[in-house]
Structure 1
Amino acid sequence: MIDRQDAAHLMVAAARGHLSGSRPYYFTSANGDVIAQTRVNAETAGLFREADQIFADGQPLVFASRLLCRVQLPERVATTDLFHDVARLAEREGTTFYLLGSTEAENRSAVAGMRARYPGLRIVGNCHGYLAGEALEKKLDEINALAPDILWLGLGVPREQIFVRDFASRLSNVGVIKTSGGLFDHLAGKVRRAPLWVQKAGFEWLWRVLMEPRRLFWRYFTTSPQAIYAILRYSK
């Protein structure tokens, strides 16, 4: 159970401690939607069990841990915040990034924004997340040759977890793979974060539904009851 700053230090240390030629460390995150998906889909649950580290990316999970669990989560570790914590450390430590995911336009915009915000950050490469066949094979070889310390992988659940299962062994020069969901859309400014008070109150999910009702309403309407049941049933 670690907070955001400890999570950032852990990622940089894991990348530094990775042995070239071995499988990258696999870090991912869980929120209510993930809990709902893993409850109803055994394959997805198995993909998450393979992770070396799972961060709690959901304020309701923090609240639930304080009410229901013997060990409490110190705070939410949202990937959209964690990225900046790690980027600041990476500037000082020389840790390198590769950003893989989202559309070509959003990925490019995210990288441009991060180069401007963190001029000392070494982003050794980037690519959109819609590759298949020979193009994907070539991209895997390219990423491995560039040997980034941290690969930020934004494909969404469970595509990014499936990617790790299928291709992590091909990326033995990568230190850490961090699954990132919609991170690049946030970095590019396409999706606006909820105000801080909304985040702390645990209602960022509602903010997202109001921002994208057609895409997210049915998803949260169907998954939220599953997540609530799982949290109440299995918290210790």
Structure 2
Amino acid sequence: MYFEVGEYRLAITMPRRAGLMAEVAERLARGEGFALATVNLDHLVKLRQSAAFRRAYDAQDLVVADGNPLVWLSKLAGDPVELIPGADMVVPLAELAAAQGVPVALVGSTEAALQGAAEALCARVPGLQVAARIAPPMGFEPAGPGGAAVLREVAASGARLAFLALGAPKQEVLAARGREIAPGVGFASIGAGLDFLAGAQQRAPKIVRSLALEWLWRMLSNPRRLVARYALCAAILPGHALTALRHRRGPSLRPGSSGSR
């Protein structure tokens, strides 16, 4: 399954959770790094606006669908993918790391949130080694010298799996640079996943998520920041639905970029 953003084409390279977990396990066992992105509608909006974000997505090895609208569109296109939210992958990925003796790094918003997330993860995943907790300063630019410094700190810590909880596009840009600066590290961009674990942000209850209404929960919790964002997301849905229907009837493949290596 892929999504067209103008002339850009973003592929969902890991359509199933089982396949993702198997691929990550193999890469950790081989000592091979990766960049994992969890695409949603907001990312598709940002991809239209930013060439730098498109370049960052081109460097992602593994791309999953993090958002019910993308899952619905994939079904409409006749090429269904599973919903794999980044926040839901933190504990399973940490379990893989612990099983293989792979240390992890937490990169996120504040030292307090990272401390809380580390404690929560270690309580839920026996044997997990948290080698580094890194909270970049305000104004942090992943494409600048600060980004390189963070990546060098991750590599120096001995971590082989890094959870990036910086929000888009910062986490994807940092992961893309990590493939060059720290090629033996797996970088998983997981949005607010660490804040949820730490209790710094409250996630929607399971019943709300099961009804595919987490977006509404989030919007009502922070309307000033999210109403405009979700309006832009809603605006691009009709175009993507028409493209999905065209794919179902038989897509004519066009030259374009893909979010896979």
1:61-80 to structure 2, matched below 5 A, reads 61-66=70-75, 68-73=76-81, 75-80=82-87
Quick one: distance in 1 between partners of 2:146 and 2:51?
30
Count of matched residue positions in the alignment of Structure 1 and Structure 2: 228
**Consecutive unaligned residues in structure 2, runs of 5 or more:** 1-13, 248-261
1:6-17 to structure 2, matched below 5 A, reads 6-17=19-30
The Cα of 1:33 is off from its aligned counterpart by: 0.7
Q: In the alignment, what sits opposite 1:225? A: 235
2:106/2:163 contact within 8 Å kept: yes
Write the deviation string for residues 85-134 of structure 1: whole angstroms up to 9, x where unpaired: 22223332223211111112211211122122223112111111325787
The one-letter code sitting in structure 2 at the alignment partner of 1:114 is L
The residue matched to 1:199 in structure 2 has which SS?
helix
The residue matched to 1:177 in structure 2 has which SS?
strand
Normalising by structure 1, we get a TM-score of 0.85
Asked if residue 86 in structure 1 is aligned to residue 93 in structure 2, the reply is yes
Q: In the alignment, what sits opposite 1:106? A: 113
Task: Provide runs of 4+ in structure 1 moved above 6 Å.
Answer: 132-135
1:16-55 to structure 2, matched below 5 A, reads 16-19=29-32, 24-55=33-64
1:164-183 to structure 2, matched below 5 A, reads 164-174=175-185, 176-183=186-193
1:161/1:179 contact within 8 Å kept: yes
The one-letter code sitting in structure 1 at the alignment partner of 2:24 is M
Aligned CA-pair RMSD: 2.3
Q: In the alignment, what sits opposite 1:153? A: 164
2:219/2:227 contact within 8 Å kept: yes
The one-letter code sitting in structure 2 at the alignment partner of 1:45 is R
Q: In the alignment, what sits opposite 1:57? A: 66
Quick one: distance in 2 between partners of 1:171 and 1:215?
34
Higher mean C-alpha displacement, 127-136 vs 160-169: 127-136
The Cα of 1:31 is off from its aligned counterpart by: 0.7
1:148/1:173 contact within 8 Å kept: no
Write the deviation string for residues 123-174 of structure 1: whole angstroms up to 9, x where unpaired: 1111113257877655433321223221111111111222234453221342
The residue matched to 1:162 in structure 2 has which SS?
helix
Q: In the alignment, what sits opposite 1:198? A: 208
Normalising by structure 2, we get a TM-score of 0.78
1:99/1:127 contact within 8 Å kept: yes
Q: In the alignment, what sits opposite 1:95? A: 102
**Consecutive unaligned residues in structure 1, runs of 5 or more:** none
The one-letter code sitting in structure 2 at the alignment partner of 1:69 is A
1:60/1:202 contact within 8 Å kept: no
The residue matched to 1:99 in structure 2 has which SS?
strand
The residue matched to 2:196 in structure 1 has which SS?
helix
Larger helix proportion, structure 1 or 2? 1
Q: Pick closer, same or farther for the CA change 1:47–1:138 going to 2, 3 Å.
A: closer
Quick one: distance in 2 between partners of 1:160 and 1:135?
13
Quick one: distance in 1 between partners of 2:187 and 2:200?
24
Q: Pick closer, same or farther for the CA change 1:50–1:230 going to 2, 3 Å.
A: farther
Higher mean C-alpha displacement, 24-33 vs 131-140: 131-140
